[in-house]
């Protein structure tokens, strides 16, 4: 059956933080009068990452709420502040760090994204976003001047559902008016994005670092390869 719609994840699929968290945290702390080096922030970053991993493993449903999703990110920045002896200003530093990532200037668009989106739109496909993200994702996509490519954006915090829950994929299919067999979902995590297969959508894993070759799903090393992959499905 011909493909009519392609859904995308966002983080590590379309976008990446730029500059990264250690750089952004350091700048925020220094702007508030603290003496923090980038090397120090980088040293403690694994502790912040471990906090996120624990929260996600325990109950990833924080992605279903805007307030809870943003709280997890801010808690990561607070951990960095406390480890660096800045507990007395952890809240302020976390707020300032998080504020930067609400704006387009702190996100980079992978170089393969625009050619991919242009190619898929030229082929007449409808495009959407299904991502575990806070409720302001649509605003960020618009600010990055990518909004015109997408027919709809489904952030988990706005929908109240998060990947790998199959219902978020079903909701997107319903709003697009396409069957699962007519859709593809592209993302970087086999556990979350591969769950599209549970409703009959074909998952494609973007694997830029060669980490998921044995995940059981189709993988591509570049989104530019996706155009030919989708065109093959349409033929």
Domain ranges of the chain: 5-15+107-234, 19-105
pTM over 0.85: yes
Backbone CA torsion sign across 56, 60, 62, 66: positive
Token output for 233: 């499905």
Question: What are the residue ranges in the chain where pLDDT is below 50?
Answer: 235
Please provide the CATH number assigned to the domain covering 5-15+107-234.
3.40.50.1000
Please report how many Cα atoms fall inside a 13 Å half-sphere around the Cα of residue 14, on the Cβ side: 25
H and E: helices and strands count for the chain: 10, 8
Instruction: Report the alpha-carbon angle 119-141-4, nearest 5.
Output: 40
Cis peptide before 164 (omega within 30 of 0): yes
CA distance readout (Å), 19 to 121, 180, 223: 30, 37, 22
- What pLDDT, on the 0 to 100 scale, is given for residue 234? 56
Residue 228, pLDDT score: 85
Query: Across-strand partners of 85?
Result: none
Instruction: Indicate the burial class of 145 (C-beta count within 10 angstroms; 0-12, 13-18, 19 or more).
Output: exposed
Report how far residue 144's alpha carbon sits from residue 4's, in angstroms, rounded to the nearest whole number: 25
pLDDT at 232: 61
Q: CB of 199 within 8 A of CB of 166? A: yes
| CA separation for the pair 71, 88 (Å, rounded) | 18
Residue 131 phi, psi dihedral angles, 5° rounding: -145, 140
Helix (H) or strand (E) holding 225: helix 224-234
204 alpha carbon, distance to own chain's centre: 15
Alpha-helical (H) ranges within 154-220 are 156-159, 166-176, 190-193
């Amino acid at each position: 059956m011909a493909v009519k719609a392609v859904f995308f994840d966002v983080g590590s699929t379309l976008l990446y933080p730029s500059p990264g968290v250690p750089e952004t945290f350091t700048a925020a702390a220094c702007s508030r009068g603290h003496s923090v080096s980038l090397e120090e922030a980088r040293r403690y970053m694994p502790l912040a990452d471990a906090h996120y991993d624990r929260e996600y493993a325990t109950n990833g449903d924080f992605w279903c709420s805007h307030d809870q999703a943003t709280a997890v990110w801010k808690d990561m920045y607070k951990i960095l502040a406390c480890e660096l002896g800045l507990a007395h200003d952890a809240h302020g530093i976390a707020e300032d760090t998080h504020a930067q990532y609400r704006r387009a200037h702190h996100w980079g668009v992978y170089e393969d994204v625009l050619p991919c989106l242009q190619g898929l739109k030229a082929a007449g496909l409808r495009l959407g976003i299904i991502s575990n993200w806070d409720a302001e994702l649509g605003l960020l996509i618009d600010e990055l001047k990518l909004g015109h490519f997408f027919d709809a954006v489904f952030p988990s915090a706005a929908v109240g559902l998060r990947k790998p829950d199959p219902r978020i994929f079903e909701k997107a299919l319903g709003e697009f008016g396409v069957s699962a067999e007519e859709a593809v979902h592209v993302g970087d995590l086999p556990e979350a994005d591969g769950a599209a297969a549970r409703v009959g959508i074909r998952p494609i894993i973007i694997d830029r670092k060669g980490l998921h070759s044995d995940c059981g799903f189709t993988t591509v090393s570049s989104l530019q390869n996706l155009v030919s992959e989708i065109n093959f499905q349409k033929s």
